[in-house]
Structure 1
């Protein structure tokens, strides 16, 4: 038997993006295809306090003064970008578990991947670093001004990739 075709399914965390899965099931049999679910999320920034303001104090001692109680707490207990990344990574993988289990129940071999950054760039880099045979995804179907303002990940991918892209524009909104 020949090697299974590698199918990448980019997800954005919305129920809308999952609608492509029924078409994948219908047209891409599990005996011939292995699926990779990829979700790209914004890079973590970390949460730290803004700079403190010097406050006049008796005896000339420096006493930091913050704009809010939250800023004071963050100054003493900052959340670093690496901590936020670990937290987001775990949350995204956890959220993908139901989809993962459903696809396995349908008979597919499934991998989960999470990347941080700009969606188009990360998807393109992911594809170039692996042997992906097809990208299957749902398009939000924006047109006119909303497409101009928000762009289209699907449209950008079509122009930047050299692998086939299966696009589904669902009949119903979720």
Structure 2
């Protein structure tokens, strides 16, 4: 059913849970897992002009390599026979995730959501929510972190 599964990662806590779920699914279906890290260039807008774009971009790309390495190690532990492809892109995360999924012919995007509700979601936004709204590819979300109280909604 799934030949290619995309797992966007930012290396944050809880990522292992998403990667483990995607790896088990890929193992069941004989799928290739695509690991993607997006260097969020929108975050550069607030930097002082004297900051070195190259230095910051290099640092963020290294952060991405580390996140991809961590995800690949998790896959190796959970499903060692699964084929893994890795990519780093620059841009705004949600559009880059959707673009990569469609360009690579992915059948599924598996990504985490913190399950924030109410004002927290409005203030913080949600990459997962934007991907779900814009993607022609099905999106499986895996909750990471604490489940909010109903009073948070």
TM-score, structure 2 normalization: 0.77
Please give the alpha-carbon distance, in whole angstroms, between the structure 1 residues aligned to 2:130 and 2:108: 16
1:130 to 100, 104, 109: 104
Distance 1:93 1:172, change over 3 A: same
The residue aligned with 1:66 is: none
Secondary structure of the structure 1 residue equivalent to 2:32: strand
Question: For the Cα contact (< 8 Å) 2:3–2:29, is it kept in 1?
Answer: no
1:142 to 111, 116, 133: 116
- Root mean square deviation of aligned Cα: 2.6
Range that drifts further, 30-39 or 134-143: 30-39
| Structure 1 residue runs without a partner (length 5+) | 50-77
The residue aligned with 1:74 is: none
Aligned-residue offset at 1:130:
1.4
Distance 1:30 1:104, change over 3 A: farther
Q: 1:4-153 alignment to 2 at 5 Å? A: 5-29=3-27, 32-43=30-41, 45=44, 48-49=49-50, 79=52, 81-105=53-77, 106=79, 107-153=81-127
Distance 1:29 1:126, change over 3 A: same
Distance 1:134 1:26, change over 3 A: same
Aligned-residue offset at 1:104:
3.1
Greater helix fraction, Structure 1 or Structure 2: 2
Aligned-residue offset at 1:137:
1.0
Q: Number of aligned residue pairs: give it.
A: 142
Distance 1:31 1:104, change over 3 A: farther
| Structure 2 residue runs without a partner (length 5+) | 148-153
Aligned-residue offset at 1:95:
3.7
